[in-house]
Amino acid sequence: MKLSAIGIQRLLRASSALVIVGLLLEIVSLLWFHPLSFVLFAFVAATLIGLGILVYLVSLVFAATPPTGNRN
């Protein structure tokens, strides 16, 4: 159980880091008035944010899975 909690925390950290980097890049893309800013947003920022959300959802699945010993 302890190991699982550590795993969830790692996933949360990874998710937060991905979301933060993605969001900061989104701010850069919004302030940069250039055709490449859309590429930066769509292919880098949105991908990182999406990955962050996905990692967070995976961590939820981990948290919802009961430990093997408690299963009936």
Which residues contact other proteins (rule: CB under 8 A)?
8-10, 12-13, 15-17, 19-20, 22-24, 26-27, 29-30, 33-39, 41-42, 45-46, 49-50, 52-53, 56-57
Q: Which residue has the tokens 């930066």?
A: 40
Which residue in this structure is represented by tokens 């920022």? 45
Query: Of 17 and 66, which CB lies nearer to other proteins in the complex structure?
Result: 17
Closer CB to other proteins, 10 or 72, in the complex: 10
CB of 72 to other proteins, least distance (A): 25
**H or E, element range at 19:** helix 2-31
The residues, ordered by sequence, that sit 6+ positions from 40 with a Cβ below 8 Å of its Cβ are: 25, 28, 29, 32
